[in-house]
Amino acid sequence: MSFTGKYLLDARENYELFMRKLGIPEDQIQLCKDLKSTTEIEENGDHFKITVTTGPHVSVVSFTIGQECEMQDMTGGKFKTVVKREGKKLVNDIKGVESATELVDANTLVNILTLGDIKCKTISKRI
């Protein structure tokens, strides 16, 4: 199943707790907690381009499975990582935060971020 498509954020679990654990200021957490983002994924073989639009902010990342790439974390810092495919999931490490993204069915994209014992789950629906 291809990740290619456009998805709208539908639900979040443990978002505020996770952001606090990351050290995100409370005012930023409150400002962003109810924002709906749109994620557009273009998959071409092992190459991906992901565009996330949240309000006026647009973030674009491109990567090839198994090759080092540069990404931006939630605080705006840049880091290098390698995205791998594990079964149907795309996984990588974001400066100590494990990320796993999976298309669980034809219309549902799930991302789970894990930091220690805290997991933040986002569920997006194909539009």
Can you give the pTM of this predicted structure?
A: 0.90
Distances (CA, A) of 42 to 4, 20, 27, 120: 5, 31, 33, 24
Output the domain CATH number for residue 24: 2.40.128.20
Place of tokens 């594990």: 86
Contact yes or no for 108/95 (Cβ under 8 A):
no
Q: What is the torsional sign of CA 93, 39, 13, 100?
A: negative
Q: Please count the structural domains in the chain.
A: 1
* Parent domain of 74: 5-126
Write down the pLDDT at residue 75.
Answer: 67
pLDDT digits (tens, 9 = 90+) for 16-46: 999 999 888 999 898 888 889 999 999 999 9
Question: Taking all residues of the chain, what is their mean pLDDT, rounded to a whole number?
Answer: 92
What DSSP character marks residue 79?
A: E
Contact yes or no for 79/71 (Cβ under 8 A):
yes
Please give the span between the terminal C-alpha atoms of the chain, in angstroms, as a whole number. Answer: 16
